[in-house]
């Protein structure tokens, strides 16, 4: 019985698998970068939450403000009943420290949910990449045997 002329040959299948491998590899790299970015922002969020938790005890304290690059400027934390909270899009809102802390905790929960989804997607992509690698190796082995 003659083979169908519509069936892809091994070289076409290998090319398609390599193309998919490249796409999945890019997605995997993007997710890894997103996880790394989240980790950095989660650390900053945690520091801000710790600062708000101790807000009452640091009022009227002298501090050194980091100007980045090793420059520090002396300052003083004035007593205030409110703080400014960044809510995104370049906007700040004035809130009481406990409200701001609640807002940051909610952001932390959402971030943890996002991280969980990213880790799940990363694991799925790892599996897909391994499957593609397995198929490529099997095709290469078949080519060697023929």
Domains of the chain are 11-141 (1.10.287.370)
Residue 37 pLDDT: 94
Q: Assess contact for 101 and 52: CB atoms under 8 A.
A: yes
Q: Judging by beta carbons within 10 Å of its beta carbon (0-12, 13-18, 19+), is residue 52 exposed, middle or buried?
A: buried
Distance from C-alpha of 80 to C-alpha of 60, rounded to nearest angstrom? 9
Task: Name the one residue in this structure whose structure tokens are 């897909």.
Answer: 128
- Asked whether the predicted pLDDT for residue 74 surpasses 50, the reply is yes
Provide mean pLDDT across the span 82-91: 91
Q: Burial letters for 131-141: b for 16+ Cβ neighbours within 10 Å, e otherwise?
A: ebeebbeeeee
Provide mean pLDDT across the span 69-94: 89
Provide mean pLDDT across the span 59-78: 86
Q: Enter the pTM of the model.
A: 0.72
Q: Between 111 and 67, whose confidence is greater? A: 111
Task: Name the one residue in this structure whose structure tokens are 């019985």.
Answer: 1
By DSSP bridging, strand 83-88 and strand 91-95 are: antiparallel
């Amino acid at each position: 019985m003659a083979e169908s002329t519509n069936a892809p040959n091994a070289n076409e299948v290998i090319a398609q698998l390599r193309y998919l491998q490249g796409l999945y590899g890019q997605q995997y790299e993007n997710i890894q970068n997103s996880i790394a970015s989240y980790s950095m922002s989660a650390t900053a969020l945690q520091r801000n939450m710790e600062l708000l938790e101790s807000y009452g005890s640091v009022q009227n304290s002298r501090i050194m403000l980091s100007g980045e690059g090793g420059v520090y400027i002396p300052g003083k934390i004035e007593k205030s009943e409110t703080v400014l909270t960044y809510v995104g899009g370049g906007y700040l809102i004035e809130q009481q420290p406990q409200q701001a802390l609640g807002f940051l905790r909610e952001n932390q929960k959402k971030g943890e949910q996002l991280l969980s989804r990213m880790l799940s997607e990363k694991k799925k992509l790892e599996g897909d990449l391994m499957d593609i690698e397995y198929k490529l190796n099997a095709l290469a082995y078949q080519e060697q045997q023929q």
